[in-house]
């Protein structure tokens, strides 16, 4: 059993989203956020009735911005990642919430991050080479509303 002082290692995690198996990912990139100054429409910050009184102005403020979330796993025959990409492109699949959990040595979640309204923006298939015997992987890049602790 892990001692409370043992820090979690980056190789124990799960990724959950509707239609995806919660295991099998070898890498997750993009769990980050930066603060950027942006003009935010006043209507996004106050109730509609207040916005109607003050007009269509904007407010310059710091907003959290996150890069795409990149999920990487071994390429397989089920094509789940590509199916999500294709389904979003053709309109048959909508946005999903993605939950990434960091696990301790006992498999218990010690931290969770949530990316809401995640939509596929890029799928990358395996890089095939005859001079290397490495695992063929595929990746899916997801745009989302930001990384939040869950």
State the DSSP code for 129: -
Residue-range domain boundaries for the chain: 13-32+67-149
- 5-61: pLDDT as tens digits: 688 999 999 999 987 776 689 999 999 999 998 888 776 776 666 656 666 677 788
Which tokens hold the place of 26? Answer: 């070898």
Which tokens hold the place of 75? Answer: 């390429």
pTM here? 0.82
Query: At a CB cut-off of 8 Å and minimum separation 6, what does 40 contact?
Result: 58, 59, 60, 61, 63
């Amino acid at each position: 059993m892990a001692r409370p002082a043992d820090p979690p290692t980056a190789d124990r995690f799960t990724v959950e989203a509707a239609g995806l198996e919660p295991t099998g990912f070898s890498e997750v990139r993009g769990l980050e956020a930066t603060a950027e100054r942006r003009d935010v429409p006043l209507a996004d910050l106050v109730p509609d009735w207040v916005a109607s009184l003050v007009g269509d102005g904007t407010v310059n403020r710091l907003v959290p911005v996150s890069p795409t979330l990149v999920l990487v796993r071994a390429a397989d025959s089920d094509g789940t990642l590509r199916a999500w990409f294709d389904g979003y492109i053709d309109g048959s699949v909508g946005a999903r919430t993605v939950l990434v959990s960091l696990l301790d040595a006992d498999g218990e979640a010690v931290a969770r991050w949530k990316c809401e309204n995640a939509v596929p923006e890029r799928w990358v298939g395996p890089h095939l080479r005859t001079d290397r015997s490495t695992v063929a992987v595929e990746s899916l890049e997801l745009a989302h509303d930001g990384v939040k602790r869950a």
